[in-house]
């Protein structure tokens, strides 16, 4: 159950409406770095969370807060659109400012919403949930959340630098601060689950003796000259989970060249030249299945 308070989580004020900035703010609403993304990601992680209830509860708390951030940003978009040019004549006006503003606007914010926000990114692409990650593995989800909050904070700092409106800077500074906290809380949750040494590799429930262990901690180089791979913390020394030593070397071809049977004549669609060994191919397939 969710309860709503009509008051915003933080003040949203616009001193000088800017419809171009309204379009930029759409990225923070419906972009892949935006608030709809993290809101749904945290909700679905919570709704599917199994195990200690404290992780589910924390996810629900933060997901609900993100709904409030969408509300703030949608309000900011609407306030930035107040007084926006709505006549196409202004595009060809002798006033270059009005013309450039109209050209920089999202027309759907006039045509589809009547000067309001959309569930889209700054290019007008509808949000489609493709970047909402909820794996059912709490450790994997927490790392995904750190990434989500990191890219969201990068976006927020860019938006902060794009505007000189004091009200918008104040609102965005709040969102940046919350991104800071959320990064910290997901990392704290990772530590709470035992930290890197206990949770890696994810999932830690899979028996590592069933891995092809000779490849588990080897950094492989893919350069054409088969030289030494790029060296760093990842190529030597103790592995991050403390279970092995990192090694490195050029990638080796352990498999064979793939050989496929000729096309199936019952399916069709191939060239005649591809069908020259159909009988032999059928025998290959028959032998493989027998």
Write out the binding residues for Mn(2+): 35, 66, 69, 149, 182
Q: How far is Cα 176 from Cα 126, in angstroms, rounded to an integer?
A: 24
Q: How far is Cα 227 from Cα 152, in angstroms, rounded to an integer?
A: 38
- Nearest CA among 200, 86, 92, 95 for reference residue 140: 200
Residues placed in the known binding site for Ca(2+): 57, 223
| Radius of gyration, CA atoms only, the chain | 27
Which residues, listed in sequence order, are joined to residue 221 by a DSSP beta bridge?
250
Q: How far is Cα 109 from Cα 116, in angstroms, rounded to an integer?
A: 6
Residues placed in the known binding site: 35, 57, 66, 69, 149, 182, 223
Distances (CA, A) of 92 to 88, 109, 128, 154, 191: 7, 20, 36, 36, 59
Q: How far is Cα 276 from Cα 78, in angstroms, rounded to an integer?
A: 67
Report which DSSP code applies to 120.
B
Q: Phi, psi (5° rounding) for residue 71?
A: -60, -45
Q: Phi, psi (5° rounding) for residue 198?
A: -90, -30
Q: How far is Cα 42 from Cα 273, in angstroms, rounded to an integer?
A: 54
């Amino acid at each position: 159950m969710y309860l709503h308070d009509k008051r915003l989580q933080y003040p949203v004020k616009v001193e000088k409406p800017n419809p171009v900035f309204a379009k930029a703010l759409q990225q923070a609403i419906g972009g892949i770095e935006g608030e709809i993304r993290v809101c749904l990601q945290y909700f679905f992680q919570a709704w599917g969370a199994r195990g200690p209830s404290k992780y589910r509860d924390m996810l629900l708390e933060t997901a609900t807060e993100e709904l409030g951030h969408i509300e703030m940003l949608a309000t900011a978009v609407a306030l930035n659109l107040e007084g926006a040019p709505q006549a196409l004549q202004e595009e060809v006006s002798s006033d270059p400012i009005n013309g450039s503003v109209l050209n920089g606007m999202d027309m759907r914010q006039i045509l589809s919403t009547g000067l309001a926000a959309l569930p889209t990114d700054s290019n007008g692409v509808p949000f489609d949930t493709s970047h909402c990650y909820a794996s059912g593995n709490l450790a994997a989800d927490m790392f995904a959340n750190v990434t989500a909050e990191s890219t969201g904070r990068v976006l927020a700092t860019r938006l902060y630098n794009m505007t000189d409106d004091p009200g918008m800077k104040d609102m965005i500074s709040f969102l940046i601060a919350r991104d800071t906290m959320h990064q910290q809380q997901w990392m704290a949750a990772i530590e709470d689950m035992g930290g890197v040494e206990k949770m890696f590799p994810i999932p830690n429930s899979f028996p590592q003796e069933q891995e092809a262990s000779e490849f588990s901690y080897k950094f492989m180089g893919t350069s054409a000259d088969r030289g030494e791979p790029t060296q760093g913390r990842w190529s030597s020394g103790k592995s991050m989970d403390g279970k092995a030593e990192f090694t490195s070397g050029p990638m080796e071809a352990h498999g064979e060249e793939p050989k496929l049977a000729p096309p199936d004549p019952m399916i069709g669609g191939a060239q005649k030249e591809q069908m020259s060994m159909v009988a032999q191919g059928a025998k290959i397939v028959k032998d493989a299945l027998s």
